């Protein structure tokens, strides 16, 4: 519940917009200061702005979107077990093809699928590209078999699997560890190396705090956009981040989402809009648009 609280001091009225959040047996309050001695019109305008901040996650999904996602989850639970292996092979191939392709891998979908499930190594492709695809499947399989929750060690384990045998020799000590060097992403400058462990710990605490409160698609979206903003590794951030996003969906019994590399520029656009403009809704709607279009559910 959101309401306006007024505190009087020395004949002046101080206004606060307050949101009460119940956490098990306790109620926690979030406050945003609105101003002092506000006129009615000014107060309403301030309240509206504060509500957007306090309810950022509550207002992301429309009623129709919630119904659609609910139907998706119900339909997914009825997928036949008889075609599980078929769905697994196709999704695993698509996910590896697109997720590595977004990062520059040049293998075709056919080459990716034949490598992963027939053991056929494509000609004229570098060992790095081959390892990137094989590693993606290893990380994907590890994620499917993992029965625990999202932890820092789980994130580091995924990174170890994703980048094995793909980094320059001088970067090998960075495998499975948060980076100790500054990296750059286009014009964006991710946090300094010494800030990364603290920011990752904060993000993981946020996840633990909100995993039973937020809709899984919103939860996965925010975690992914913040993870990519932190950019905790020297390489492999995109692939690990998309695996983690799908881990959250999978754990909550939603079908996983494969971001096509042919739509990567739209992906970058909504990702940056969420990270730097506070527009998480654009990223959420982008994921929903993929779910609406794709027939494959895994």
CATH code of residue 211: 1.10.3290.10
Residue at 190 is within a domain: yes
CA 20 – CA 2 distance, rounded (Å): 7
Q: What is the pLDDT of residues 58-82, one digit of tens each?
A: 667 888 999 999 999 999 999 999 9
Does one domain contain both 40 and 101? no
Return the structure tokens found at 167.
């980094």
What pLDDT, on a 0 to 100 scale, did the predictor assign at position 205? 93
Please provide residue 107's backbone torsions phi and psi, each rounded to the nearest 5 degrees. -70, 140
Residue at 131 is within a domain: yes
Does one domain contain both 13 and 110? no
Does one domain contain both 198 and 273? yes
Does one domain contain both 11 and 152? no
CA 291 – CA 120 distance, rounded (Å): 31
Catalytic residues, by residue number, are: 231
Does one domain contain both 40 and 76? no
CA 242 – CA 293 distance, rounded (Å): 19
Does one domain contain both 204 and 100? yes
Q: What is the pLDDT of residues 228-284, one digit of tens each?
A: 999 999 999 999 999 999 999 999 999 999 999 999 999 999 999 999 887 899 999
Return the structure tokens found at 119.
């053991």
Does one domain contain both 94 and 220? yes
b/e code 161-194 from CB counts within 10 Å (16+ = b) = bbbbebbeeeeeebbbebbeeebeeeeeebbeee
Full domain range(s) for residue 14: 2-54
**Contact of 200 with 229, CB cutoff 8 Å:** no
Residue at 298 is within a domain: no
H or E stretch covering 288: helix 280-293
């Amino acid at each position: 519940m959101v309401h306006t609280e007024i505190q009087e001091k020395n004949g002046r009225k101080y206004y606060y917009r307050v949101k009460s959040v119940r956490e098990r047996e306790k109620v926690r309050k979030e406050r945003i200061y609105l101003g002092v001695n506000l006129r009615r019109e000014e107060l309403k305008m301030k309240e509206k702005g504060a509500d957007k901040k306090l309810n950022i996650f509550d207002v992301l999904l429309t009623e129709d979107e919630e119904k659609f996602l609910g139907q998706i989850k119900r339909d997914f639970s009825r997928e036949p077990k008889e075609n599980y292996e078929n769905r697994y092979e196709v999704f695993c191939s698509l996910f590896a093809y697109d997720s590595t392709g977004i990062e520059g891998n040049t293998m075709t979908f056919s080459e990716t699928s034949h490598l992963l499930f027939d053991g056929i190594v494509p000609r004229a492709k570098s060992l790095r590209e081959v390892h990137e695809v094989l590693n993606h499947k290893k990380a994907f399989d590890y994620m499917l078999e993992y029965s625990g929750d999202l932890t820092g060690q789980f994130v580091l384990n995924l990174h170890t699997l994703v980048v094995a045998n793909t980094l320059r020799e001088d970067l090998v000590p960075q495998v499975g560890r948060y980076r100790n060097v500054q990296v750059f992403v286009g014009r964006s400058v991710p946090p300094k190396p010494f800030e990364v462990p603290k920011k990752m710990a904060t993000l993981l605490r946020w996840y633990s705090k909100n995993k039973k409160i937020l809709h899984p698609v919103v939860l996965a979206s925010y975690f992914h956009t913040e993870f990519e903003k932190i950019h905790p590794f020297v390489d492999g951030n995109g692939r690990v981040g998309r695996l983690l996003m799908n881990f959250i969906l999978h754990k909550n019994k939603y079908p996983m989402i494969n971001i096509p590399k042919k739509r990567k520029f739209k992906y970058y656009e909504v990702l940056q809009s969420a990270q730097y403009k506070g527009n998480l809704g654009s990223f959420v709607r982008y994921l929903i648009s993929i779910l609406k279009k794709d027939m494959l559910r895994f």
